[in-house]
Amino acid sequence: MRVPLCCLLEVTSVSTENALFSAVDALLEQVAQNDLPAPAERKRLREAAGLSQAQIAAALNARREAVGNWETGKTEPRPPKRAAYARLLEGLAARFPAPATGTTTTASAPAAPETFTGPAPEPPPAPAPAAGVPPVPDAAIDRALDEKPAASSRRPGAKKAAKNPAAPAADPRFENGPLAVVDADSDGQVFAYCVGGLVLEVPAKSLPSLVEWTLAEARLGQARLHRNGRDADPVLVLTAAALERYGLPAALSQEEQRAGRLPDGHKVVKQLTKAKWQLTQRGFGPWARIYRPAEGSKRNCVQLCIPAWNALDVREWDRKDDPLLPTLHPADLARYLGTYAQRVMTPRGTTAVTGLELMVALRPPTRAEKDPATGEFKRAFNDDALTQLYDMVECEVPDEHPILKGKFARHHLRTPAEMLMEEPYDWCRPLTDEECMHRYLVAVDINMSFAAAANGLTVGLNGPTRLTGNPTFDPALPGSWLVDLSHVDLSRAQVNGRTLDGDRLPSPFTPKGDRPTGPAWYATPTVAYAVELGFDVAPIEAYVRTQTGRYLDPWYKRLRDAYVQTMADLGVTTDLGESEFLEAMARRKQADPTMALLETAIKATAKGGIGKLRQRSRGQVPYYEPWPALSRETWRPDIRAAVLASQRIGIHRKLMKTAAAAGLYPVAIGTDAIVYPSPGPSPLDVLPHTAEGKPAPGTFRLGVSPGMVKHQGTQTVLWAEQQFEEAGGIFNIANLIKGTEPTTGEGE
């Protein structure tokens, strides 16, 4: 076939034009590499954007120390990072211009010694990724400039796949989000609903091909939360229609429910085996993990979430009394779970499992370290993480632990002198005659109380060291202390010069609020509180950890930000006044019912993650036999005890301040709910304020942030007396007071 000469000339012209444009782009890039703001301005731009040096370093695939040196002028970035750094600073400068002070702060920095005057040389080849850590692409710099990409403009019900979202994703490998909800229509066509309203057509006809498609084409997953961690595997949520399309049962039989999985002989399991896919030890259950061995740094793994098999427990992911998930459109389910993944992490199972995995993702136990002798990377342990198993301490483990075999009779109830009993409050007392004159009982609930208690808490990272011979108490050493606190008398305690009626307050040292009767095991925060109150302590022995750290701080901050952002989406922001806050809380679930589920899931993640630190046997093995959780480095009952002790002590500290400020005493405490007699039905009628109308210092404060309180519910005093009469005695009414409308009925 002959090609006309005019066409050849046109092609040649276009080719020449493209070559010229490329040469110009190269020159512009070289200029950008030499044009950097002064070191002080670099720091100002980063701080104005609210970015940390670690974030900049992660985006540029550099060390945090290197970014610090660039900001002090000790060193200058070298190509190819220099151009990327210049691009970042240019974007920040456009958003955060320097204040007009008559002096300029954006003068170019002096050229670094390695600056070239000729054409820009080819950048040196990138070093091999350390233990599977891929180089961060340029899109990561865009994320630093704009962490919230615009949502796709496609409507949720659209049936045509969009190759690219409306805005560039943070990482092109995962541009379609962390997960997708897979659904099928009446014609058998399969669609994957992604975050942001994107809908992908799925060509896979079988489950093995669906897994292949996910890894090869779907671009699903989530970038690691820590540079030493690993990327999250993509998650596929299968609807009932998708289960039918791929030959899976709509529900598990009773036998399969007991086993928690499909039998190995099921046809779909055989299909996976034939295609050389493997399942983890838990098999094909509600949270099935399908994988092939990793190829170098590349993981080949997809996780399935099957709501019809109770993967999303109604007590954690849904509304217990009125479930919403079964009626959600796949696009809404993708929005809900995708938002959870973006703000917390890609779900790995229950909220408790995800909460524990979040700790590991933010504090990875290992990192890649280059061996100077061989030049190869090897595994090294991180000092701020839980890295290995250690010997257990008898007083810290539950009754069924193998270490207790032969120590006690089968049904022996261990005493506080034999077992560390750090638990939340479960306390209630009779109302006094004066309190019965009030009409209402108002319950306030602490936001994210366990997460708040973990904030700033120093915990042990290594194994226990036993101290004997009446050791001196050291509040800097986390661990367990055998000490007698029965002499601590708070019946006439004084706070700010005011004598309190301590008999109407629970003891801070026991979950039931009773005064200790002799030696008992306590976590460090509890003993430290006794010292804070001014009492002498004389430990008998102790098990302490000498390698310490604030292991849970990043975990708390991640959950705090997720919770506060979600509440803001529901109309409850941190800048609201107390009355506005109560009104916003009352209507938040009507604002967006789907996103209201996210509040529940985040709170369950925080609470469940702490509980997983001492996961007990669930009947998987005989008594005194090791159960699977014991093989985790994160099975740390001492850390759980420290968090629970800190939570309980924090409540008692505020109880004392509230009593001193206004003479108010609680009548019941259930975990993190505190009940006060009140003349009116609102928390504003009972919580103390200063003469200026501000919350009294150190007392319970209304607000959305973790550690502050919200209104849990109101009931009448007559209702409480009726509950006591029907129960034949005192029981904890704090667990029954729900809702905002006072009633005289039996309660919930």
Contact by Cβ (8 Å): 367, 609? no
Distances (CA, A) of 349 to 271, 303, 487: 24, 10, 46
Distances (CA, A) of 651 to 35, 656, 682, 698, 699: 55, 9, 20, 11, 9
* pLDDT for the residue 122: 36
**Of the candidates 55, 109, 105, 100, which has an alpha carbon nearest to the alpha carbon of residue 77?**
109
Q: What is the arithmetic mean of pLDDT over 130-140?
A: 37
* Res. 22 pLDDT band, cuts 50 70 90: low
Q: What are the residue boundaries of the structural domains of the chain, listed by start? A: 19-116, 148-357, 394-425+458-549
Q: Rounded to whole angstroms, how far apart are CA atoms 425 and 650?
A: 11
Pick the CATH number of 19-116 from 1.20.272, 1.10.260, 1.10.405, 1.10.10: 1.10.260
- Top-confidence residue, 249 or 16: 249
Most confident of 65-74, 148-157, 256-265: 256-265
On the question of pLDDT at 605 being above 80, the answer is yes
Model confidence over 677-721: pLDDT tens digits? 999 999 999 999 999 999 999 999 999 999 999 999 999 999 999
Instruction: Tokens 């240019």: give the residue.
Output: 90
Q: In this structure, what are the phi and psi dihedrals at residue 352, rounded to the nearest 5 degrees? A: -65, -45
Helices (H), ranges, 438-592: 449-454, 524-532, 553-569, 578-591
Contact by Cβ (8 Å): 744, 719? yes
User: CA torsion sign, 56 to 60 to 65 to 67?
Assistant: negative
On the question of pLDDT at 744 being above 70, the answer is no
- Window from 158-167, 371-380, 667-676 with minimum mean pLDDT: 158-167
- CB neighbours of residue 469 within 10 Å: 7
Q: Rounded to whole angstroms, how far apart are CA atoms 344 and 558?
A: 7
Cα–chain-centroid distance for residue 454?
12
Q: In this structure, what are the phi and psi dihedrals at residue 420, rounded to the nearest 5 degrees? A: -75, 110
**Of the candidates 156, 157, 153, 179, which has an alpha carbon nearest to the alpha carbon of residue 166?**
153
Structure tokens of 649? 């002590």
* Res. 19 pLDDT band, cuts 50 70 90: low
- Window from 85-99, 190-204, 485-499 with minimum mean pLDDT: 85-99
Burial annotation 493-513 (CB, 10 A radius, 16+ → b, else e): bebeeeebebebbbbbbbbeb
Tell me the pTM: 0.77
User: CA torsion sign, 336 to 339 to 344 to 348?
Assistant: positive
Cα–chain-centroid distance for residue 497?
41
On the question of pLDDT at 142 being above 60, the answer is no
Taking the chain, what is the end-to-end CA distance rounded to the nearest angstrom? 85
* Res. 21 pLDDT band, cuts 50 70 90: low
Q: Rounded to whole angstroms, how far apart are CA atoms 217 and 75?
A: 42
* pLDDT for the residue 74: 63
Cα–chain-centroid distance for residue 217?
29
* pLDDT for the residue 318: 94
Reduced to 3 states (helix: H, G, I; strand: E, B; else coil), residue 388 is: coil
Residues 6+ apart with CB under 8 A from 580: none
- CB neighbours of residue 95 within 10 Å: 11
Contact by Cβ (8 Å): 598, 318? no
Most confident of 53-57, 459-463, 728-732: 459-463
Cα–chain-centroid distance for residue 661?
35
- Top-confidence residue, 740 or 62: 62
- Window from 25-34, 108-117, 489-498, 643-652 with minimum mean pLDDT: 108-117
**Of the candidates 565, 512, 562, 519, which has an alpha carbon nearest to the alpha carbon of residue 540?**
519
Model confidence over 202-244: pLDDT tens digits? 999 999 999 999 999 999 999 999 999 999 999 999 999 999 9
**Of the candidates 573, 572, 594, 576, which has an alpha carbon nearest to the alpha carbon of residue 585?**
572
Contact by Cβ (8 Å): 652, 673? no
**Of the candidates 598, 573, 596, 597, which has an alpha carbon nearest to the alpha carbon of residue 584?**
573
* Res. 491 pLDDT band, cuts 50 70 90: confident
Structure tokens of 228? 């030493």
Model confidence over 79-133: pLDDT tens digits? 778 888 888 888 888 888 887 644 333 333 333 333 223 333 333 333 333 333 3
* pLDDT for the residue 16: 57
* Res. 152 pLDDT band, cuts 50 70 90: very low
Residues 6+ apart with CB under 8 A from 77: 36, 60, 62, 66, 70, 85, 112
Model confidence over 294-308: pLDDT tens digits? 877 778 999 999 999
On the question of pLDDT at 168 being above 80, the answer is no
Q: What is the arithmetic mean of pLDDT over 138-152?
A: 37
* Res. 50 pLDDT band, cuts 50 70 90: confident
Model confidence over 511-565: pLDDT tens digits? 999 999 999 999 999 999 999 999 999 999 999 999 999 999 999 999 999 999 9
Provide DSSP, 673-693: EEEEEESSSSGGGTS-B-TTS
Residues 6+ apart with CB under 8 A from 468: 541
* pLDDT for the residue 18: 58
